[in-house]
Amino acid sequence: MVDATAKLEEPFSRIGGKPKIAYFSMEIGIDEHIPTYSGGLGVLAGDTIKSCADLNVPVVGITLLSEKGYFFQKIDEEGNQIELPINFIPSDFLTLLPTRTEVTIEGRPVTLQVWLYQYRGIGGYIIPVFFLDSNVEGNSDWERELTKYLYGGDQKYRLAQEIILGIGGVRILQQLGYKTIDRYHMNEGHAAFGTLELYRQLQDIERVREQCVFTTHTPVPAGHDQFELGMAKEMLGEMLPEEILPDVTYEGRLNMTKLALFFSHYVNGVAKKHGEVSRSMFPGYSIDSITNGVHSTTWVSEPFQRLFDKHMPGWRSDPYILRSAFSINKDEIWEAHMEAKRTLIDYVNNRCNAGMDYDDFTIGFARRATAYKRPDLILADIDRLVHIAETVGPIQIIYAGKAHPKDTQGKETIKRIYNTMKTLRGKVKMAFIPNYNMSIAKMMVAGVDLWLNTPRRPMEASGTSGMKAAHNGVPQFGTLDGWWLEGCIENITGWSIGPEKTEDQASDDEVDKNDLYSKLENRILPKFYLDRGNWIRTMRSCIAINASFFNTNRMVQQYVLNAYFI
């Protein structure tokens, strides 16, 4: 076995900066081949680490191994989602280190080992990501399963996972010899038990707070992680001190968001609106906002990478440069787009037998299949949809997205989409690509003509897939929620659905549906089919106005200034 410590310290010493920030996330999607993520939260974590590496920000990442991933999605003839285990062999991509640590779960010691992944930034700066693993000889069978299934199992399993991530995470860093960490950043409340370990060591609430930063991602109370207090006490034992209980429980349950809020000196939501929503949800706390982004190099498709390299060299390390996209010739933008579009259309025709056409207007919708995102809003009135396609111009719709195994509503939605696809055959071409993941996302955000996003307000904390689309000149058509409140300039970077920015009410499905169809019919399709030059101008604005800002390079700089070094 290699000397892990030497291996770890070396990359930082090249630049001269020892790691100062530990970034904790239940899921991290940093590489298409490492399936330890389920959706937006994990992809954001991966993109964050990549931008930290590009910017030489001294961070280490901590997550769970999630050896069986989330799940592999198959869809049967009737549209039923079938969940299969993922075959991921950690040793193909990660290095097992000799360092170990221990946590106590329900009074029993559980040994943890750790795997290393190293991400190399654009200038050569390397950021280590540590994947905690409880599948160690000597642990009980149940304990050995704890780091296998991302968001799997029951409440007790989940609580045990969070003990491993938070407490195990803080301890493994110390075991690995990281002595200079002075900020612990919790990406969502899952890692909040780390604060209990710091409190045990420091015995001083203020000193823990000085070190902790918390990013919340959930805009509704029901979405926050919480555990029965009795179970939490049994599982955590002495790690959960009585004196803080009034501050970290809500309605008799241990609330991970409250725990993280209590022990953090800096807290933020992930878009301006989400900051507001969080402040009203948790009065008495000071909550800032830093709007999410995506890692530009990761999400720009190959044809656009070539185009950007030619016209805007330097955009990879400094995506602000994408502002100058305004000077790129429209024909070249269209050519790059068509190349990305052909790749996607070929893929859906091969894989889903979709019979789609390169020249037809193509709408993309891909994200977690869950009720609040309303994946089938555009299918709510299929007669109207068919009428629009037949009178204004052909429409193709490409879907993808997994429903959480326990989300029956989400699964029903996939089924409904499947059935509608059969009904619409010959009138509006549709495809549902199974097993949505980062590779499929990358192909879809670049290959469609319009990115559709229909969350029910104010449920979408930020959303990031529309930012990926903008990086490929693809405009978004979406509800004014999350990042889109900041990114939508009507008819310039895309279009809004439903109430205007100044109106602050919850979404009404009927109103939104009507607005969706009417804008599609009267503004969007005619612009695409009859006014192509102006359409491409919109594409260009997406890159110049939105990609230049909604990237993790800008986001990380804000974290450094506002969260880490204050």
Q: Note the residues at the interface with ligand PLP (CB under 6 A).
A: 39-40, 43, 367-368, 436-438, 441, 463-465, 468
Alpha-carbon distance values, 403 to 38, 43, 166, 435, 464 (Å)? 10, 17, 27, 10, 18
User: Sheet containing 494-497: which strands, arranged edge to edge?
Assistant: 429-433, 395-400, 361-366, 450-453, 476-479, 494-497
SS3 386: helix
Q: Shortest approach of ligand PLP to residue 463 CB, angstroms?
A: 4
CB of 460 to ligand PLP, least distance (A): 8
In the bound complex, what is the minimum distance in angstroms from residue 462's beta carbon to ligand PLP? 7
Provide, for the chain, the percentages of residues in helix, strand and coil under a 3-state DSSP scheme, each rounded to the nearest 5: 45, 20, 35
| Cβ at position 223, least distance to ligand PLP in Å | 14
Long-range contacts of 136-144 (CB under 8 A, 24+ apart): 136/100, 136/111, 136/112, 138/111, 139/110, 139/111, 140/108, 143/105, 143/108, 143/110
Q: Amino acid identity of 553?
A: N
**Closer to ligand PLP at the Cβ: 274 or 367?**
367
Q: In terms of CB distance, is 163 or 485 closer to ligand PLP?
A: 485
Please report how close the Cβ of residue 41 comes to ligand PLP at its closest, in angstroms. Answer: 8
Among left, alpha and beta (phi > 0; psi -120 to 50; other), residue 315 is alpha
Distance separating alpha carbons of residues 170 and 106, to the nearest angstrom: 19
Identify which of residues 168 and 475 has a Cβ nearer to ligand PLP in the complex.
475
Length of the chain: 566
Tokens for 344? 């996607």
CB 105, min distance to ligand PLP, A: 30
Q: How far apart are CA 191 and CA 194, in angstroms?
A: 6
Closest separation between CB of residue 69 and ligand PLP, Å? 12
Q: Which CB, 282 or 436, lies closer to ligand PLP? A: 436
**Beta carbon of residue 385, minimum distance to ligand PLP (angstroms, whole number):** 22
Cβ at position 173, least distance to ligand PLP in Å: 28
Closer by beta carbon to ligand PLP, 114 or else 290: 290
Give one DSSP letter per residue of 491-521, joined into a string. Answer: TTTEEEESS-TT--PPP-HHHHHHHHHHHII
Residues 297, 304: Cα–Cα separation, whole Å: 10
Tokens representing 259 are 């725990």
**Toward ligand PLP, which CB reaches closer, 264 or 479?**
479
Least separation, in Å, of the C-beta of 27 and ligand PLP?
Answer: 10
Give the C-alpha distances (Å, rounded to integers) separating 214 from 217, 243, 260, 404: 10, 21, 6, 25
- φ, ψ of residue 495 to 5 degrees: the values are -140, 150
Q: Measured from the CB atom, is 39 or 168 closer to ligand PLP?
A: 39
- Residue 562, exposed/middle/buried by CB under 10 A (0-12, 13-18, 19+)? middle
Nearer to ligand PLP, 8 or 556 (CB): 556
The residue among 101 and 437 lying less far from ligand PLP, judged by its C-beta, is: 437
Q: Which is nearer to ligand PLP, 287 or 441 (CB)?
A: 441
Tokens encoding 424? 């619409």
Q: State the nearest-atom distance from the C-beta of 485 to ligand PLP, in Å.
A: 14
Q: How far is CA 235 from CA 47, 107, 197, in A?
A: 33, 7, 14
Which amino acid is it at 410? G
Sequence-ordered strand ranges (E) for 435-511: 450-453, 476-479, 494-497
Cβ 180 to ligand PLP, closest distance in Å?
A: 32
Of 39 and 128, which CB lies nearer to ligand PLP in the complex structure?
39
Decide whether 278 or 465 has the Cβ nearer to ligand PLP. Answer: 465
Q: Strands, DSSP E only, in 106-211? A: 108-120, 126-133, 183-187
Q: CB of 42: closest distance to ligand PLP in angstroms?
A: 8
Nearest residue (CB) to ligand PLP, 240 versus 352:
352
Q: How far apart are CA 233 and CA 254, in angstroms?
A: 9
Q: Count of CB atoms within 10 A of residue 89's CB?
A: 9
- Report the C-alpha gap between 319 and 558 in whole angstroms: 14
